[in-house]
Amino acid sequence: MDESRIDLGDDMVLPFQIEDLGIRGRVVRLGPLVDRVLRQHNYPEPVSRMLGEALALTTMIGSALKFEGRFTFQTQGKGPVHMLVADYMTPDSEHLHGRIRGYAQMDEVRLATYLSEGKTSTSDLLGDGYLALTIDQGADMERYQGIVALDPAGLSASAHEYFQSSEQVATTIRLAAGPLMQRGRDGQTETLWRAGAIMLQHIASDGGITGFREEDETRAPTTQEENWNRASILLNTVEDHELLDPALASSKLLFRLFHEDGVRAFAPSEVQFACRCSRDRTRSVVASFDDDEIADMVLDGKVEVKCEFCSEVYHFAADELKEARE
């Protein structure tokens, strides 16, 4: 692997291929981006971990899209964290990089009770529900959505089920998110959030990506299955700190895992935080509500609206909303 061709920084996606095993993959490393998102929301740590994983997974899948559009990750559950949302916009004529944002919705009182009782797992906090993954190619194209039940084992297990049932793709994924103590440029130590992900998918003989047919138990595994099993076993040796450590380059992680099988990395792509909210867009949305709904929102003569993605706050006078309708 030629490391000189690879951007080893953060907030990037590194595609790769394991030549001898017929497997493709991607590595995602999020640093300042995920730290910005999670700091501005200031969620309890278990919720921040889940949203960090969701951002890494959304970046992983969204960055693989071959067209201009949006990929949306959304959970709906009966636990104290009602919803996790992240969406990824592909690069277009105006934006050179992919753009990601995300937030969580929760019952804060109920969440505090869960945390005080030590209920901090993804299964506890999301509860029973579903994961919806949506691909939107624009107004002229039909949206595609895959829905699977939330897996008690976590978001990566839910994503596995999506690829298996909706895409019929042999896939394995590792996710990690967490706060790490790091030394800044000023020499001071601070705690910063990071997130990472790595994914493998099997390549069909025609160059596409596919799953495997069920085999008779009496037959020996095919070479493809053996290759897939080998790669999956190696991937499962990845520890959280290897996905989060800023000192461990993605290329070095890939070399540790797959150097015996001819791993080859391709050109990386960058991802940035970006929210698409604006004053005009928010005003148009609020102006579409009926008069009673707007009246209920008025406080001290103004309507206050906060963007759940970026926490930007907009204020509108009643006359301004009326003018937006005309």
Average pLDDT over every residue of 15-34: 94
CATH class of 279-325: alpha beta
Amino acid 169: pLDDT: 82
pLDDT tens for 215-251 read: 444 434 568 888 899 999 999 999 999 999 999 999 9
> Quick check: 78 pLDDT over 90?
yes
- Residues 135 and 112: their CA atoms lie apart, in Å, by 34
Domain layout of the chain by residue ranges: 9-273, 279-325
> Quick check: 22 pLDDT over 90?
no
pLDDT tens for 170-216 read: 899 999 999 998 776 677 788 899 999 999 998 765 545 444 433 44
Q: Of all helices (H) and strands (E), which one includes residue 132?
A: strand 129-136
133: buried, middle or exposed (CB in 10 Å: 19+, 13-18, 0-12)?
buried
> Quick check: 7 pLDDT over 50?
no
Q: Which fold has domain 9-273?
A: Hsp33 domain (3.55.30)
Provide, rounded to the nearest whole percent, the portion of the chain with pLDDT above 90.
63
Kind of pairing, strands 98-106 and 81-89? antiparallel
pLDDT band at 77 (very low <50, low <70, confident <90, very high): very high
* DSSP 8-state class, residue 164: I
> Quick check: 288 pLDDT over 70?
yes
The CB density around residue 37, as the number of other CB atoms within 10 Å, is 27
Nearest-CA neighbor of 275 among 101, 91, 59? Answer: 101
In angstroms, the Cα distances linking 225 to 263, 264, 320 are 18, 21, 63
Amino acid 138: pLDDT: 75
Amino acid 86: pLDDT: 98
Amino acid 214: pLDDT: 39
- Residues 27 and 285: their CA atoms lie apart, in Å, by 37
pLDDT band at 8 (very low <50, low <70, confident <90, very high): low
- Residues 295 and 302: their CA atoms lie apart, in Å, by 10
pLDDT tens for 119-160 read: 999 999 999 999 999 999 877 778 889 999 999 999 999 999
**In which residue are the tokens 């993959």 written?**
25
Considering the chain, what is the average pLDDT of its residues? Answer: 88
More confident site: 56 or 209: 56
Average pLDDT over every residue of 296-310: 87
Amino acid 205: pLDDT: 54
Amino acid 326: pLDDT: 60
